[in-house]
């Protein structure tokens, strides 16, 4: 009777999947196959294109691009993939949020990259003036 129940469940819901949440997050890939992935919040980072181009140049794999990102970014990704003769796939993934993965460069087999997440350079904020401005009361009473 257990076999019949398993057969019915498999027919109704499909076969069991390995790590379905991980595959959904990384545009159909497992994390251990990723050379690099980029989240939506990092799409305007200064060093994104340098790091992506470097990864495409050094490693064999496929570039997966989220369909809902702006077309300017899609076009640039496609141009880079064609430049290094890498296959690319447009994927309709999760709805866009800051932590949604929008680009994944992955191999067909596990590569076990230690930290495949794109790391944006920290922007050093420069103050417009290093001179401290006097407060209203200091200006009013000319005290320093």
Query: Is the confidence at residue 90, as pLDDT, over 80?
Result: yes
CA distance 104 to 107: 10
Q: Which domain covers residue 73, as residue numbers?
A: 33-119
* Among 105, 104, 100, CA closest to 40: 100
How distant, in Å, are the alpha carbons of 45, 107, 129 from that of 76?
14, 21, 37
Per DSSP, the three-state class of 13 is helix
Predicted confidence (pLDDT) per residue in 34-73, tens digit: 999 999 999 888 899 999 999 999 999 999 999 999 999 9
Q: What is the CATH number of the domain that holds 39?
A: 3.30.1330.30
What is the spatial distance between Cα 115 and Cα 140, in angstroms, rounded to a whole number?
55
Residue 4 has pLDDT above 50, yes or no: yes
Number of domains in the chain: 1
Domain assignment present for 46: yes
Distance CA 99, CA 87 (A): 25
CA dist., res. 44 & res. 104, Å (int)? 16
């Amino acid at each position: 009777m257990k076999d019949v129940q398993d057969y019915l469940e498999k027919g109704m819901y499909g076969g069991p999947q390995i790590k379905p949440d991980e595959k959904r997050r990384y545009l159909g890939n497992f994390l251990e196959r990723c050379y690099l992935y980029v989240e939506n919040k990092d799409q305007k980072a200064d060093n994104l294109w340098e790091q992506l181009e470097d990864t495409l140049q050094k490693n064999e794999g496929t570039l997966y691009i989220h369909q809902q990102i702006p077309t300017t970014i899609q076009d640039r990704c496609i141009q880079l993939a064609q430049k290094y003769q890498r296959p690319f796939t447009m994927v309709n993934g999760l709805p866009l949020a800051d932590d949604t993965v929008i680009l994944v460069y992955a191999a067909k087999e596990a590569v076990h990259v230690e930290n495949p997440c794109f790391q944006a350079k920290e922007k050093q904020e420069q103050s417009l003036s290093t001179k401290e401005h006097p407060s209203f009361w200091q200006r009013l009473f000319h005290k320093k």
